[in-house]
């Protein structure tokens, strides 16, 4: 009897170690893919800027039509029927995710054109903190003290980036902050869809198609002629966006958000380096302070959460 118990205990220990090794391997894969996603999204911002004086809504159209094509391609290759992937009961949440997602893209693209690339990306990266707030209303999840503190510190960091003058922030910075809010709300709806069993490519396909159709009338009525160079940069922006969406979905399939979400802030570092190399944009000292506060807050939150599990 003792021998059997010893064997069982040994097997349990080996299974535990094997499980921990697999989890560590999945976490490493998750970190790799989220770093890759951050790079793709940084390149998207660069290509949007390089496309020049194309209207914001026209830029967003090209970004989304490429992402839609990629997502639908993945769905068709999977062999699943669309009716099985996107069910009627999920349509209200899919629509809300798409509305906020489209608003977030438009605000972010406009901010990229009117702020430094690093500043626009930093303000957009307020989205995880807005997601905490919106989870109260959308998912009924009440934040704990650490999450409330992280939201407060994130807004303080955003104030350093936005540099409000006489109590009124610049319009581009406010638009950038709204973009972070819209993106955070959209991500909360993405999570709700995940809990309802809707697959990632289906969410991307629906959202990208919705935003493409919403932006199509404006494209037809107010089309601004583009050079071959501008079209190429916008197609590259779309390819980068598709790469970012697919790799970030893969990242969260390998590891939970609490383990890897902090690495998404590497996008700000990529964006700052690309801004310096390609556009000669040097972040001012106040912006750097804001970056440190927001990234430090995200890292501290990740550290506390992972070490309490």
Mean pLDDT, residues 135-142 taken together:
84
Across the chain, mean pLDDT equals 81
- How does residue 279 score in pLDDT terms, banded at 50, 70 and 90? confident
Rg from Cα positions in the chain: 21
**Cα-based distances in Å from 2 to 6, 7, 8, 9, 166:** 6, 9, 10, 10, 76
Tens digits of residue pLDDT in 176-204 = 899 999 988 988 888 788 778 787 778 88
**Cα-based distances in Å from 25 to 18, 19, 22, 93, 295:** 11, 10, 5, 33, 25
Mean pLDDT, residues 244-268 taken together:
75
Tens digits of residue pLDDT in 209-249 = 999 999 999 888 888 999 999 999 999 999 998 888 878 87
pLDDT at 162: 67
pLDDT at 211: 92
> Six-digit token pair at 3?
């021998």
pLDDT at 99: 95
Do 46 and 233 form a contact (C-beta atoms < 8 A)? no
| Distance of alpha carbon 150 from alpha carbon 212, whole angstroms | 35
- Selection from 274, 306, 261, 271 nearest residue 291 by Cα: 271
Mean pLDDT, residues 283-295 taken together:
85
pLDDT of 39 above 90: yes
pLDDT winner (highest mean) among 89-98, 111-120, 129-138, 268-277: 89-98
- How does residue 93 score in pLDDT terms, banded at 50, 70 and 90? very high
Residue 236, phi then psi, degrees to nearest 5: -65, -35
- How does residue 166 score in pLDDT terms, banded at 50, 70 and 90? very low
Residue ranges per structural domain of the chain? 40-306
Residue 168, phi then psi, degrees to nearest 5: -120, 115
pLDDT of 257 above 80: no
Residues 6+ apart with CB under 8 A from 159: 169, 290
> Six-digit token pair at 99?
């509305």
| Distance of alpha carbon 224 from alpha carbon 219, whole angstroms | 8
Q: Count how many residues are written for the chain.
A: 309
| Distance of alpha carbon 68 from alpha carbon 244, whole angstroms | 13
pLDDT at 74: 84
pLDDT at 233: 94
> Six-digit token pair at 153?
């510190």
pLDDT at 22: 60
pLDDT at 153: 84
Cα dihedral sign, 205-207-212-213: positive
| Distance of alpha carbon 60 from alpha carbon 57, whole angstroms | 5
> Six-digit token pair at 83?
């009716």
> How remote is the C-alpha of 294 from its chain's centroid?
16
- Selection from 217, 94, 107 nearest residue 171 by Cα: 107
Residues 6+ apart with CB under 8 A from 236: 43, 47
pLDDT at 226: 93
pLDDT at 14: 55
> Six-digit token pair at 28?
């490493």
| Distance of alpha carbon 249 from alpha carbon 259, whole angstroms | 14
> Six-digit token pair at 205?
């396909």
pLDDT at 167: 43
Share of the chain above pLDDT 70, in %: 84
| pTM, to two decimals | 0.76
């Amino acid at each position: 009897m003792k021998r059997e118990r010893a064997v069982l205990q040994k097997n349990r220990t080996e299974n535990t170690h094997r499980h921990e090794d697999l989890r560590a391997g999945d976490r490493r894969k998750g970190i790799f893919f989220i770093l890759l996603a951050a790079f793709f999204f940084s390149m998207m911002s660069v290509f949007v800027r390089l496309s020049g004086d194309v209207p914001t809504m026209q830029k967003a159209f090209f970004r989304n039509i490429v992402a839609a094509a990629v997502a639908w391609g993945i769905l068709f290759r999977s062999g699943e029927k669309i009716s099985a992937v996107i069910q009627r009961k999920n349509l209200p949440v899919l629509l809300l995710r798409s509305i906020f997602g489209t608003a977030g893209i438009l605000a972010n693209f406009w901010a990229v054109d009117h702020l430094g690339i690093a500043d626009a990306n930093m303000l957009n990266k307020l989205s995880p903190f807005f997601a905490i707030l919106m989870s109260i209303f959308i998912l009924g999840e009440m934040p704990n003290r650490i999450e409330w503190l992280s939201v407060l510190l994130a807004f303080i960091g955003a104030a350093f980036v936005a540099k409000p003058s006489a109590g009124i922030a610049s319009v581009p910075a406010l638009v950038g902050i709204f973009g972070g809010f819209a993106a955070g709300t959209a991500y909360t709806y993405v999570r709700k869809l995940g809990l309802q069993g809707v697959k990632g490519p289906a969410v991307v396909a629906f959202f990208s198609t919705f935003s493409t159709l919403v932006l199509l009338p404006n494209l037809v009525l107010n089309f601004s002629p583009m050079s071959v160079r501008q079209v190429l940069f916008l197609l590259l922006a779309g390819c980068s966006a598709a790469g970012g969406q697919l790799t970030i979905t893969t990242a969260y399939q390998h590891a939970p958000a609490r383990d890897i979400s902090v690495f998404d802030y590497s996008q700000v570092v990529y964006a700052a380096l690309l801004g310096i190399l390609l556009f000669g944009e040097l972040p001012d000292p106040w912006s750097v302070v804001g970056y440190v506060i927001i990234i430090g807050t995200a890292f501290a939150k990740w550290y506390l959460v992972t070490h309490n599990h």
